[in-house]
Chains A and B, each alone.
Chain A
Amino acid sequence: MARMKFLCDAERCIECNGCVVACKNEHEVPWGVNRRRVVVLDDGVPGEKSISVACMHCTDAPCAAVCPVDCFYTTDDGIVLHDKDLCIGCGYCFYACPFGAPQYPQKEAFGVRGKMDKCTFCAGGPAADNSDAEYEKYGRNRIAEGKLPLCAEFCSTKALLAGDGDLVADIYRERLTRRGGRPQQWGWDTAYVEKG
């Protein structure tokens, strides 16, 4: 059984934010909500690393464990989704999530939060596939169309991979084998060693 996972290859990510733009555009994500963002470590220092972060669709999802209204569910292939009609915007999932994935649109004055929004692995939510209701609440359902998340498909350096964890791991393992050397190495030749 496939288990869908994201992986960001820090050696390849060039902080172009293409994944962020692709996500926001594909799902018409409102201002103030970032389902995906690029984090830079040691910014400006030689050897700096960037990684693209969103919901990692945890196998043992802490957001689902703490949700007081049980609005989370996991598909057979490991995609963690939620029902916005049940969500009360309490923010527990935000505190539980190690990646800061849950986002809350500001609905009214005084910081009143709306219902939680997060990466859906482009799999929509509990509404008819690619219906207007689904698109409005959760964004496009590319999985139902036989496609994978646009952020990964859009990535120009193939730093961000999304798909069956086994396939993603195979690609990353092959890259690491080709690169060799210590993990502290950096530079163009480290990320893009040609296939032999």
Chain B
Amino acid sequence: MTIKNATLTAAAVVLATGLAGCWDATEVTVHNPGEYKGEADPLLAQSASARTDTLTKRFQLVQADR
């Protein structure tokens, strides 16, 4: 192997290593919980969208910056 080939190989290894360091897994690990086995919550019987308006108004009234 000539010096030129060795240099190119070393450069390729360095480049590959450097680029590998830039890679990041984008997959999100979702831990699926088991099925809830407790009593039913009356809050679950209501639709969340039904209380969204009320809670949004409350948020604007109490917490929004003025």
Contacts and interface: CB of A to CB of B under 8 A. Distances in A.
Interface string B29-63: 01111111111111110011101101110111011
Interface in A147-165: 147-148, 152-153, 158, 161-164
Interface string A58-72: 001110111101111
A128 B40 CA distance: 9
A102 interface: no
A73 B43 CA distance: 11
Interface of B is mostly: loop
Interface in A1-46: 1-2
Contact of B48 (A60, A62, A76): A76
Given A60-B30, A71-B36, A148-B59, A1 B48 contact: yes
B65 interface: yes
A196 interface: no
Given A71-B38, A75-B43, A77-B52, A174 B65 contact: yes
A126 B43 CA distance: 8
B25 interface: no
A94 to B, nearest CB: 16
B33 A164 contact: no
Interface of A is mostly: loop
Contacts of B44: 73, 75-76
Contacts of B60: 167
A69 B31 CA distance: 16
B48 A73 contact: no
Contact of A148 (B33, B36, B48, B58): B58
Interface in B7-26: none
A152 B32 CA distance: 30
Nearest to A81: B41
A124 interface: yes
Contacts of B3: none
Given A75-B43, A75-B44, A143-B55, A148 B37 contact: no
Given A70-B36, A146-B58, 13 more contacts: A2-B52, A2-B56, A61-B33, A67-B34, A75-B44, A76-B44, A81-B43, A83-B38, A126-B38, A126-B39, A129-B43, A143-B43, A164-B56
